[in-house]
Amino acid sequence: MDWETLKLFQWEMMAPEFIIFGAAAILSVVDLFLPKKVNRNIIGWLALGSIALAFVALAQVLQAPTVSILFDTFYLDGFAKTFKVLLLIGTALVLLMAIGVKKEEGLEEYRGEFYYLLLTALLGAMFITSSADLITLFVGLELLSISSYILAGLKKKDKRSNESAMKYVINGGIASAILLFGLSYIYGLSGSTNLAEIRLALSSPMSENYTYLLGIAFFMVLVGVAFKIASVPFQMWAPDVYQGAPTPVAAFLSVVSKAAGFVLLIRLALSIFSATPSEGETGTLLIDAQVYLGVIAALTMIVGNLIAIRQRNVKRMLAYSSIGHAGYILVAFTTLAPFMYEAIWFYLFIYIFMTLGAFTVLQMVTETTKSEDISSFAGLYKKTPVLAVAMAVFLLSLAGIPGTAGFIGKLQILTNAFFAHPGHIILGTIMILTTVISYIYYFGVMIQMFFRPVDSKLSSVAVPTGPAVVVVVCVVATIWFGLDPSLATDIFHMTFTGFMDL
C-alpha cells in the first residue's frame, strides 16, 4: 500500500480509536519514568481526559453517513457509533470509580498500569464495534481479553486475585480457541474474511451443501461469545473472577466487556448467519437456532438468579446477578423482533448506570468494613443515609421496579418477546418469574441497610470525589431514564439508520 493510497482514507473516522491508542501508549511511558513517590492518580485523570476527547471526536461524526475504510475492514456505521457511546461512558465511570480506590484495594502499587490497561481494553472493545472483517474482530477481542486477564490479576500479592486471573486466562483461552476454530470454518467455506463477502458467499444456493458445517461453525462461535457474556453453560468463571479481581475491574467486566460480547454476537450472527440457508422450513440458520438460543437464555436467567439467592458475598451476588441480566438481553436477541436492536442497546445503556452505581457503593462500604459480606451493609442507612438511598435506587432498578430505568429496559424486552412472531410466551414468562426471584437477594441487601442494627465495623463511610461523582451520575440516570426514556431512545434513532448498517 503506497502513501497516496493511505492519504485517500478518511482517517478522521478513526479519531476516537487513535486518541485512545495514543493515550494508552503515552501513559504507559509516563508511568515508567514517573518517580514512585508521585501519585499515579494523575495518570487516571489523564486517561479520563483522553476518553472525553474520544467522546468529542465521536460526537462530531454521530450523524455522518456510513463510512468504510481500510478495504472494508473498518466500518463507522450507526451500529458502531451507538455502541461506542456505551463503551466510552462505561469506561469513564469505571475510571472515576477507580481514582477513589484506597490502598486496601491492592491497586496502589500497580495503579498506573491499571489506568492504561483499561484504555487498551476499551480500544479492543471499540474495534469490535467497527470491525467488518473476521481478523480485525478477533484482534479486537483478544486485545480486550488479554488486557482483562491482566487487570483481573492486578493484586499480585493476593491469592484470590491470582486464582481468579488463572481461571480467567485458562477459560478465556479455551473459549477464544473454539471461537477461532469456528471462524476458520467460515473462512474455509466462504473463501473470505470480510463479513460482507462472507454473507454474499454463504447466502448463495450452493451453500446449502455445507449446512452442517455452517451449523458447527455457528455453535463454535456461540461458545466463544457465550463465555464473554457469561451465559450458561460458560458462566463458571464469572463469580470467582469478580470476587478475586479489584472492584473497579469487576465493574468493568460486568459492563463494558459484556457489552462488547453482545456487539460481537450481533455482528457475527446478523451479518453472516441471518443470510445462511438451512434445511429447515424457516430458510435461515439463525432463525432455526432460535430454539437453542431460547434455551440458553432461559437457563442463564434461571441459574443466575437462583444461585444469587445463596450468596453472602455481595460481589459474588452481583456476579450472578450479571449472569441473570445477560439472560434477559439474550431474550431480546432470541426474538429477532423488529425493535430488537433498540431493546438491547437501551438495556445495556441503563445497565451501565445501575450496575456501576452498585459496585461503587460496594467499593466504599468494603473499604470501610474490610468485608464484602452482606452483613457489612447492616445499618448503612443510620451511618451514611445518602449511600444507602443510592444503593436502594440501584437495587430497585436491577430488580425492575416501576419508576426506574431497569423497569423500562425489561418492559422493552418483554414487549419484543410477547409480540414477536411467533410470540415467545414461555421465554417471556420465565423472564418475569426470574425477575420476581431476584427480588429475594436484592431486597435482602436493602433489609440489611435499613432494618438491621449497625455493623460494629461500619463507621461513617468516606466518600471520595471520584466515586461520589459516579454515584450521583448513576442515580440521576437511573431515575431519569426510568421516568423519561425518550432521551436515550432519541440518541439511538439519531445514529442507528436501520438494518442496512450491518
Residue 370: the pLDDT is 80
Contacts of 179 (CB under 8 A, 6+ apart): 138, 141, 220, 221, 223, 224, 225
Tally of CB atoms within 10 A around 195: 25
The whole-number pLDDT of residue 87 equals 92
**pLDDT of the residue at 393:** 92
Distance CA 302, CA 273 (A): 27
111-125, 211-225, 252-266, 272-286: segment of lowest average pLDDT: 272-286
Average pLDDT on 38-57 reads 87
pTM score, whole prediction? 0.90
> How do the residues of the chain divide into helix, strand and coil, expressed in percent and rounded to 5?
75, 5, 20
User: Does the pLDDT value for residue 384 go beyond 60?
Assistant: yes
258-268 and 211-229 helices, crossing angle to 10°: 170
Peptide bond into 485 cis (omega under 30): no
DSSP state of 271: I
User: Which candidate, 216, 193, 191, 218, places its Cα nearest to that of 206?
Assistant: 191
Give the lowest-confidence range in 173-177, 192-196, 397-401, 409-413. Answer: 192-196
Provide the percentage of residues in the chain whose pLDDT is more than 90.
21
Work out the average pLDDT over 99-120. Answer: 76
Residue 313 phi/psi, 5-degree rounding, is -80, 120
Does the pLDDT at position 104 exceed 60?
no
Instruction: Assess whether pLDDT exceeds 70 at residue 328.
Output: yes
Looking at residues 74-84, what average pLDDT do you find?
83
Q: How many CB atoms lie within 10 A of CB 205?
A: 7
Where are any strands of DSSP class E within 378-439? none
Share of the chain above pLDDT 70, in %: 90
Which cell is 200 given? 454474499
The single-letter code of the amino acid at 112 is: G
Q: Rounded to whole angstroms, how far apart are CA atoms 373 and 365?
A: 10
pLDDT at residue 124, rounded to an integer: 92
User: Counting beta carbons within 10 angstroms of the beta carbon of residue 12, is it exposed (0 to 12), middle (13 to 18) or buried (19 or more)?
Assistant: middle
For 373, list phi and psi in degrees, rounded to 5: -70, 150
Mean pLDDT across 5-13: 64
Question: How much is the pLDDT for 320?
Answer: 92
For the beta carbon of residue 299, count every other beta carbon within 10 angstroms. Answer: 17
Amino acid at 494: M
User: Integer distance in angstroms from the first to the last C-alpha of the chain?
Assistant: 27
pLDDT of residue 228: 87
Task: Give residue-wise pLDDT tens across range 254-313.
Answer: 999 899 999 888 888 888 887 777 665 556 777 878 888 888 999 999 999 999 998 888
Chain mean pLDDT for the chain: 84
Query: What does the pLDDT read at residue 434?
Result: 92
